[in-house]
Amino acid sequence: MALLEVNNLTTNFHTRNGVVRAVNDVSFSVNRGETLGIVGESGSGKSVTCYSLMRLIPQPPGRIESGSAIFDGTDLLSCSERTLRGIRGKRVAMIFQDPMTSLNPYLRIEDQLIEPLLIHEKTNRADAVKRAIRGLEEVGIQDAKNRIRSYPHEFSGGMRQRVMIAMAMITKPDLLIADEPTTALDVTVQAQILELIKKEQKANGTAVIFISHDLGVVAGFCDRVNVMYAGRIVETAGTREVYYHPQHPYNRALQKSRPTGDMKGNELYTIPGLPPDLSRPIEGCAFAPRCEFAADVCRSQPAHLKVIQSGHFSACTRIQNKEITL
Amino acid sequence: MSTSPDFLQITGLKTHFPVESGLVFRKVVGTVKAVDGVNLNLKQGEILGLVGESGCGKSTLGRTILQLIPATEGTVVLGGKTLTDLPANELRAARADFQMIFQDPYASLNPRMTVYSTLAEALQAHSSVKKNELPKLVGELMERVGLSPRYIRKYPHEFSGGQRQRIAIARALAVKPKLIIADEPVSALDVSIQAQIINLLAKLSKEMDLTLVFISHDLSVVKHISDRIAVMYLGRIVELGPASEVFDTPKHPYTKALVSAIPSLDPDMERTRQRIILQGDPPSPLNPPKGCPFHPRCSSAIDACKIDRPEFLTCGNQQVACIRANEIN
Amino acid sequence: MEPATTSSFNTERLLEQADQGTSLWKDAWLRMRKNRMAVFSVVVLLVISLTSVFGPFFLTYSYEETNLDRVAQAPSADHWLGTDKLGRDQLSRILYGGRVSLMVGLVATAVSLTIGVLYGTIAGFVGGKLDALMMRIVDIIYALPFTIFVILLMVIAQDAGTAVENWLLQSFGWKTDVASKWNLILLFGAIGAVEWLTMARIVRGQVLSLRKMEFIEACISLGLSRKRIIFRHLIPNVLGPIVVYTTLTIPAVMLLEAFLSFLGLGIQPPRSSWGLLIKEGSEMMEEAPWLLLYPGLLFSLTLFSLNFLGDGLRDALDPKTSKD
């Protein structure tokens, strides 16, 4: 049985300008120990999906309209607050994008690190601190015994992210949700942090949902990838399949527009147009206005995820009908 | 008419910020050496990619060249004019020649001015333009950067990030500059929009024979657009050479680590490649190490590296600031 | 919106034919309209202001007419809100007092606004030693005990009215009525002289953070003059917090005036202001509680409304929510 099974999740934001369908009927699953990558640009709904899972969406203006998220037998979306709090931080941990703002600037690292232990495992303070120091050492912070007494502002961005990882992993969670954890970091630090997450994952058998807009990062890191656009999953497959045999025009266009391996002097491939306005209802496939393969069927029929090959799903109607190949 | 083939000459440029302490009587207790001795020569129409990680000083270097931050030492000569020596009023007039494009398209436009006001103001900053000519000129500018003139009366918050960046580029072009420094112009944009803006900059630079300095932390973005690449570390340039060579055959240990850290779109390669993972964090420019700034994290460091600052050595087609450059390559 | 490159645009009619933009002010206005508390407050304030300004024309009794036969009477058909200790019609006094209190609030705030904005903008923009000097001056004045300062000022200068009027007449040939209104003028001066300090600090803080924003750097890079940057770019962008703070300064000023009048230093009878009325009412609190109740209620209502309006404005102008 999958560790996490998300079914038909729909989250809307009720704003002044209308109802924004941020997450539109999204379903996916994560197995134990697996790494799932969720890739998309801003507005694709990748972050909102995971925040919805943990019920961290501000309601209002957000609202989880429907769907279920079964985590090891418990539906995170409909269970009581109490049950949810027992899972959040203990069995499902989250690390966020901006290490500058995700730590409390007024508390020492020590106090923040031991908090999950004190709350979820009811350890006494001395033991918790010992474990916290070990946690810091594991994530590569030198001189952990002394540095644990520092405040967040005394650490660099990369170090703060390590502290966040230590905090997340200290209760040995079953699932780690990482929301763009390396986007705000330098490339060399990013490489360090990714290595670290991989190491922690292997040591504890933790499943990871890795959210990113960076296709390259996801390529080396994840077992499977969901590609999201305009609040829907448009393609999902094993990593190799997603990159070597893309089955959705958006996925392929995204890969092509990255300036790697292009010869200088040629124009970069660009995806024409802009992402759609999610407050307006969309007829047919959301990517159609920008797609080079768009046909009438794309604009009239809604696009749903269907299997193309074993384990490889695409929401492109024309690919499903075998009208085009990429 | 400039006889020197180099259009932009930067010599020994240093930008140091004093760190003060004390409540009443402020004492200088340290210096942040953001830019610590940079020499660079660019030809007219050349595109230079300036890369480095946070704290390396690339943004400060860009701003110092444009005289937005006063240089502590060194000179900047543009088209024969020594910018660092100009008095304030002459400097203001000279600004038409060099412009900046900023990173954050949400912060670089006045939120209370329409596109028309912003661009008209720029057009009139250094030349007198007849009032009735303004709409036409503004419309032309907008088209040039790929914006429909229909939106001339809209406000910045009504545009997307990529469009705002286009407005910012139009504003920079309005004064007809010869040098543009773009400070991470696409970092805040989505991947699919980045390509549009990069294409635009490359096209404009060619059309207008602009000298462009493209600052970025993303080597792959820079590689595509630049003629040459300069890699910065802790306030100094550690490698300088033709773009493809710096990228494909890096000679400085830091450049090697930087290139190795770039994720590729090839899952198989990603899993099998041996990455060079640097130890430790990027150092702070407040306390740069003695000798070569990179030696604490360098796997090729020897004792001699801790003593003297390395000068540029020619290694292949590149200039490398590493005493072991020819040994380790 | 499409980044289309339509090369057919008619330059003469471009500005007329272009799509209209929605400025941040319009945005804020639309948002304000939805805030019920704020709209209600505006209505309340309008009603109070209009009644205070125009009401006295419809009254039968004037605010200063004393009538010792009808001292401290409870509200009746004749005197809707009763009479005070000298038999003056309380309703007239309250309405007239409203005029005075509101006027003091508005004028003193306007004075402190002008001084504060200019001072703070220059200090924040020029920075460096000038900024340090200007702010130290503010700090010093701030440190002076305001109450004592104002009391001293009022006491020492209270007789200067006639002298000032004569001086104005002799030096400039202006015929003014300064002496009779001297007390009021002193009051404005005292309050205005103190309130601008906080405004200056707030504006300076805003300017300091704005200065770091890239669009200001862009202006410098374009080679725009300092004057232009200050008036065209800085001030319009600090207007948001200024507007909010102004609506919060007005009640502060009114309270200050009330305080001074309570001490007997502000408005003098037979003139009235809400502060003075509250003072007089509190003296007769046991025998004639309505004398305290009505002015108190009205004053509180006005202050609450101004505060809610300020809150509403602040929420409406908050740029973080301008793009949902």
Query: What are the chain A neighbours of C30 within 8 Å (beta carbons)?
Result: 16
> Dihedrals φ, ψ of A274, to 5°?
-130, 160
Mutation choice for C interface testing from A13, A15, A16, A17 by most C CBs within 10 A: A16
| Interface contact B100-C3, CB threshold 8 A | no
Looking at residue A152, the DSSP 8-state letter turns out to be G
| Interface contact A257-B191, CB threshold 8 A | yes
| Interface contact B275-A191, CB threshold 8 A | yes
| Interface contact C1-A16, CB threshold 8 A | no
| Interface contact A17-C31, CB threshold 8 A | no
Of the partner residues A219, A267, A270, the one whose CB lies closest to the CB of residue B192: A270
Query: What are the chain B neighbours of C223 within 8 Å (beta carbons)?
Result: 92-93, 95-96, 125-126, 175
User: Residue A227 forms beta bridges with which residues?
Assistant: A39, A235
Q: At what angle do helices A157-169 and A125-138 cross, to 10 degrees?
A: 130
The span from the CA of A176 to the CA of C105, in Å, is 58
Domain C41-61+88-321: top CATH class: mainly alpha
Give A247-292 as a DSSP string. Answer: -SHHHHHHHHTS-SSPPTTSPPP---S----TTS---S-TTGGG-T
Of the partner residues C1, C2, C324, the one whose CB lies closest to the CB of residue A16: C324
Query: What are the chain A neighbours of B198 within 8 Å (beta carbons)?
Result: 259, 268
| Interface contact A273-C2, CB threshold 8 A | yes
Residues 205 to 264 of C: which have CB under 8 A from any B CB?
213-215, 217-225, 232-233, 236-237
pLDDT, tens digit only, all 324 positions of chain C: 444 444 455 666 677 777 777 777 787 788 788 888 888 888 998 998 888 888 877 777 777 777 777 777 777 777 778 887 787 888 888 888 888 888 888 888 888 888 899 999 999 888 888 899 999 999 988 888 877 877 777 777 777 777 777 777 788 777 766 666 777 777 777 777 778 888 899 999 989 988 888 889 899 999 998 889 988 898 888 887 888 888 888 888 888 888 888 877 777 777 788 888 888 888 888 888 888 888 889 889 999 999 888 888 887 776 554 433
The CB density around residue C189, as the number of other CB atoms within 10 Å, is: 16
Of the partner residues C1, C221, C225, the one whose CB lies closest to the CB of residue B151: C1
| Interface contact B68-C1, CB threshold 8 A | no
CA of A21, closest CA in chain C: separation in Å? 13
The CB density around residue A251, as the number of other CB atoms within 10 Å, is: 25
Query: What are the chain A neighbours of B195 within 8 Å (beta carbons)?
Result: 257-259, 268-271
| Interface contact C18-B149, CB threshold 8 A | yes
| Interface contact C2-A15, CB threshold 8 A | no
Mutation choice for C interface testing from B100, B106, B112, B129 by most C CBs within 10 A: B112
| Interface contact B160-C4, CB threshold 8 A | no
pLDDT of residue B3: 44
Low-confidence stretches of chain B (pLDDT beneath 50): 1-4
**How do residues A76-130 score in pLDDT, each as one tens digit?**
999 999 999 889 888 999 998 877 788 888 899 899 989 888 888 888 899 999 9
C324 touches chain A (CB under 8 A): yes
| Interface contact A264-B243, CB threshold 8 A | yes
| Interface contact B157-C322, CB threshold 8 A | yes
The continuous run of DSSP H or E covering A110 comes out as helix A109-116
pLDDT of residue A225: 95
The span from the CA of C155 to the CA of C39, in Å, is 42
| Interface contact B199-A270, CB threshold 8 A | yes
Of the partner residues B54, B190, B195, the one whose CB lies closest to the CB of residue A259: B195
Buried b (16+ CB within 10 A) or exposed e, A252-273: bbbbbbbbbebeeeeebbbbee
pLDDT of residue C254: 85
Chain B residue nearest residue A267, CA to CA:
B199
- Region of B176 on the Ramachandran plot (φ > 0 left; ψ -120 to 50 alpha; else beta): left
Query: What are the chain C neighbours of A273 within 8 Å (beta carbons)?
Result: 2
Give the strand pairing for A306-309 and A312-314.
antiparallel
pLDDT of residue B164: 92
B6 touches chain C (CB under 8 A): no
Please give the C-alpha separations between residue B177 and each of B44, B115, B120, in angstroms, as whole numbers.
12, 20, 16
* Model pTM score: 0.79
C159 touches chain B (CB under 8 A): no
CA proximity to B86, closest of B76, B96, B99: B76
The answer to whether A271 touches A257, Cβ cutoff 8 Å, is yes
Query: What are the chain B neighbours of A161 within 8 Å (beta carbons)?
Result: none
| Interface contact A259-B160, CB threshold 8 A | no
The answer to whether B32 touches B286, Cβ cutoff 8 Å, is yes
Give the strand pairing for B313-315 and B236-242.
unpaired
User: Residue A37 forms beta bridges with which residues?
Assistant: A210, A225
State the 10-residue block means of pLDDT for chain A, 326 residues long: 91 85 92 93 88 87 90 91 89 86 87 89 89 88 85 83 89 92 82 87 92 87 93 93 91 81 67 82 88 88 88 90 84
| Interface contact C3-A15, CB threshold 8 A | no
Residues 255 to 274 of C: which have CB under 8 A from any B CB?
none
